[in-house]
Structure 1
Amino acid sequence: MAGDWIKFEVSTPEKQEVLAITVDMGWDDPDLTVGKLLRVWRWFDQQTVEGNAPGVSAPLLDRIAGVTGFAKAMAKVGWLNISDAGLSLPNFGRHNGETAKSRALTAKRVAKHKANAKGNEEGNAATVTEELPREEKRREESSTTSNEVVVDSVPADDFSLDGEGKKTTRPECPHQAIIALYHEVLPMCPSIREWNGTRQVNLRTRWNEDKKRQNLDYWKRLFTYVSQSEFLTGRAKTPEGRKPFLAGLDWIVKSENFTKIREGRYHSEEAAA
């Protein structure tokens, strides 16, 4: 879709504000912060006028970002205004989404018209030229400066489409229930005392990757499968002096480890479903 984009500076991942948000959230990867910022900025572009969201609270924006505390972390670096009246983005036009893009294209057409009308006695400098032809408009919409890239908007991870093409909210990832199942089925593995930051992101990602994972039955079967692995549950023979390995939930839900478990890399039997 040619009309669905926002500008994103290529230097964004290295900006001090991004690094400060990353530290504040307890993460060690700025890419996580960049992904959350894209979701927030995209929402403001699609759902607000000029970056103002009256009546929207910080916790509600956290749900859009998919992680608790992200709105306040943005506010600390000056990238979000939070008040009793709602939320707003400072310098909203810099992101140049649909709203800002429309203003930019209009300004270009006006400037072009004035240049063409100069010296033409019959020209009307106050008239805006006709809309650009479709192909020319697309080329203009897709143009970028040397330090910017165009990022296509995509549906938010929290939504899917039903049979009639309407947006439906995906089941929310039940972190506490999954942690309780982990403790119940794998009591020999490390206990979970804190569950935030990257841990929440990884579990939520595994939950959203496949519809069949969006129920507690799947996770109980997965943990049962893990319990059958001698290596993952500390029952495998180890060299003298080396502690046996025990798979924690945070380790299990990391992308590469999760895939290896499902492939049966730590089992002698068939891979998990």
Structure 2
Amino acid sequence: MAATDWIRMRTNLWDDPRVSAMADLCDCGEASIIGGLFWLWATADAHSVDGFLPGMSRKAIDRKVGVTGFAEALWSCGWLEDAGGGVKIPDFTEYSPQSAKARSVIARRAANSRSVHVGLGRM
């Protein structure tokens, strides 16, 4: 993991009423919900530029986060939409703007370039 691998997450997420609603719907604690949200948003950040995750299903989301009903609760709270052939996170670009992603890609390329040049200097 590079130093530029990060996602934006609010510090007051624990107290968001949607997190409490999801915890109630899933019959679990807020920590499980926030952990699942972290996984979902990090996965979308790594595999999407617009929040669309092709091939991802509600069943797969529940399995990956280990919380039955998690995807349905996301959908009921407005944090997930069904999309043709997958799912979509609404307003994804607001929270993971392309410019931030582009800066991250540029930083990774620069770091890789530096490491290659450093490695060549040792020969």
TM-score (norm 1): 0.35
Correspondence for 1:11: 12
3-state SS of paired residue (2:9): strand
Q: Please list, as runs of the form range in 1=range in 2, the aligned pairs for 1:38-187 lying within 5 A after superposition.
A: 38-96=38-96, 99-103=98-102, 105=103
CA 23–78 in structure 1, closer or farther in 2 if over 3 Å, else same: same
**Mapped partners of 1:33, 1:77: distance in 2:** 12
The answer to whether the 8 Å contact 2:26/2:67 transfers is no
Q: Which has the higher helix share?
A: 2
Amino acid at match of 1:47: H
CA 49–102 in structure 1, closer or farther in 2 if over 3 Å, else same: closer
Q: Return the offset for 1:100.
A: 5.0
The answer to whether the 8 Å contact 2:26/2:69 transfers is yes
**Mapped partners of 2:66, 2:99: distance in 1:** 25
Choose 1 or 2 for highest CA Rg. Answer: 1
Correspondence for 2:24: 23
1:33-85 Cα shifts (integer Å, max 9, x gaps): 11111011111111223111123211112222222221111000000002453
Amino acid at match of 1:102: K
The answer to whether the 8 Å contact 2:44/2:51 transfers is yes
1:202-255 Cα shifts (integer Å, max 9, x gaps): xxxxxxxxxxxxxxxxxxxxxxxxxxxxxxxxxxxxxxxxxxxxxxxxxxxxxx
Q: Return the offset for 1:86.
A: 1.5
**Mapped partners of 2:42, 2:23: distance in 1:** 19
**Mapped partners of 1:90, 1:37: distance in 2:** 13
Q: Please list, as runs of the form range in 1=range in 2, the aligned pairs for 1:257-272 lying within 5 A after superposition.
A: none
Correspondence for 2:119: none
CA 78–4 in structure 1, closer or farther in 2 if over 3 Å, else same: same
Amino acid at match of 1:25: C
The answer to whether the 8 Å contact 1:24/1:73 transfers is yes
Displaced runs of 4 or more, over 3 A? none
Q: Choose between structure 1 and 2 for higher RCO, CA contacts under 8 A separated by at least 6 residues.
A: 2
- Structure 2 stretches lacking a partner, 5+ long: 111-123
Q: Return the offset for 1:96.
A: 2.4
Amino acid at match of 2:87: L
3-state SS of paired residue (1:6): coil
Count of matched residue positions in the alignment of Structure 1 and Structure 2: 106
Q: Return the offset for 1:101.
A: 1.3
Superposed CA RMSD in Å reads 2.4
